[in-house]
Amino acid sequence: MTKKPLTYAEAGVDIDRGDAFIDRISPFGKATHRPGVLGGIGGFGGLFSLGGRYKDPVLVSGTDGVGTKLKLAFLTGRHGTVGIDLVAMCVNDVLCSGAEPLFFLDYFATGKLELDVATAVVAGIAAGCQQAGCALLGGETAELPGFYADGEYDLAGFAVAAVERAAILDGTQVQPGDKIIGLQSSGLHSNGFSLARKALLEVRGLDLFGPSVGGGHADLAAEMLEPTRIYVKPVLELLAQQPVRALAHITGGGLPGNVPRSLPAGTRAVLHRGSWQEPAIFAAIRAAGVEELEMQRTFNLGLGMVAVVPAAHVQASLTLLASHGVPATVVGEIVAADVAEADCIVV
């Protein structure tokens, strides 16, 4: 009796399904093409030419994931926006050096490749790249049977940006008296979801498919899954027109953990509570018994990015950001402080 040949598909990896996935997502990459892209998705490496656009270019790279926000995508079956989060977490980081994102690569890993789910995720990644003005230059799809729970996947992203050496933002130009402009977040963004899920769903027992806590969303799930705001295009224009001295992306660590990363030693960022609009979802989390310091070091509390500018350029900066539909306000100032390293306080 002849034994049936053992195949890779029987072991859990379906090469034909993977090929079908590539066919599905190829148009997404093409839709993000920009000057500098050479070739397309499918080679062993993505090709990008800096051409003659820079005199003395410095490359800036960043990598990140989406974290346990993915759990909400699994619970709800809504996979269309986590790809935007993935791009946002990377491009907003490299932007803080004053750099323009050029291209993006993604890594999608799952136990069994579900074509509709994976396609929705990559469509979101492409949408995020379009918002950031960068090319989706390539990626990797890994089918790892037995490694992930059924219906789950993980995401990682990698952004490469460029900035003229003379224009790098390193915080050294920041001075006492400078003002801090806060750029409003769209909500939770992509940090603190382990605490947010525990506070809202376990401690308070809110229904994920019930009413949103702040209104304006179909349900609580939509409110929590609201994608991270991508600040690239408005901030690049701000950098071109105003003397921005520092930028900080407010991610894990919150305001006290991220603002000082862009400041020189001997300075302190003083933020004024109530000077910006805080989305209602943060108050809903507090109501579960989360103390204020824990809130500050876990969540963005309504500020997705901050910019440090000279006081004389505040109004022009606010006007420019408003023209791009980015709500922003003065949230504090830089003061001299007798500290070995920069810090940030909320008063």
Q: Residues 291-336: pLDDT tens digits?
A: 999 999 999 999 999 999 999 999 999 999 999 999 999 999 999 9
Dist. CA 182–CA 276, nearest whole Å: 7
Spatial distance between the Cα atoms of 89 and 109, rounded to a whole number of angstroms: 18
Residue 211 is predicted with a pLDDT of: 96
pLDDT at 342 over 80: yes
pLDDT of 228 strictly over 90: yes
Q: Which residue has the higher pLDDT, 209 or 24?
A: 209
Q: What pLDDT does residue 7 have? A: 86
For residue 128, pLDDT over 90 is answered with yes
How far from chain centre, in Å, is Cα 272? 25
Task: Give per-residue pLDDT as tens, 232-285.
Answer: 999 999 999 999 999 999 999 999 999 999 999 999 999 999 999 999 999 999
Q: Which domains does the chain have, with CATH numbers?
A: 15-167 (3.30.1330.10), 179-346 (3.90.650.10)
Instruction: Encode the chain in three state secondary structure.
Output: CCCCCCCCCCCCCCHHHHHHHHHHHHHHHHHCCCCCEECCCCCCCCEECCCCCCCCEEEEEEEEECCCHHHHHHHHCCCCCHHHHHHHHHHHHHHCCCCEEEEEEEEEEECCCCHHHHHHHHHHHHHHHHHHCCEEEEEEEEECCCCCCCCCEEEEEEEEEEEEHHHCCCCCCCCCCCEEEEEECCCCCCCCHHHHHHHHHHHCCCCCCCCCCCCCCCCHHHHHHCCCCCCHHHHHHHHHHCCCCEEEECCCCHHHHHHHHHCCCCEEEEECCCCCCCCHHHHHHHCCCCCHHHHHHHCCCCEEEEEEECHHHHHHHHHHHHHCCCCEEEEEEEEECCCCCCEEEEC
High-pLDDT (> 70) share of the chain, %: 99
Specify the pairing of strand 267-271 against strand 135-143.
unpaired
Q: What's the pLDDT score for residue 103?
A: 97
Share of residues in the chain with pLDDT > 90 (%): 86
Indicate whether 183 pLDDT > 80.
yes
Give CA–CA dist 321/60, Å, rounded: 24
Q: What CA–CA distance (Å, rounded) separates 258 from 316?
A: 25
What integer pLDDT is reported at residue 1 of this predicted model?
Answer: 57
pLDDT bin (cut points 50, 70, 90) of residue 8 is confident
How do beta strands 267-271 and 328-336 pair? antiparallel
Q: Rounded to an integer, what distance in angstroms lies between the CA atom of residue 100 and that of residue 167? A: 11
Q: How confident is the model at residue 109 (pLDDT cuts 50, 70, 90)?
A: very high
Handedness of CA 337, 339, 341, 343 (dihedral sign): negative
- Give the residue-averaged pLDDT of 54-64: 97
Q: What is the mean pLDDT of the chain?
A: 95
Confidence of residue 2 (pLDDT cuts 50, 70, 90): low
Q: By the 8 A CB rule, do 159 and 91 touch?
A: yes
**Mean predicted confidence (pLDDT) in 155-181:** 97
Q: Averaged over 89-96, what is the pLDDT?
A: 98
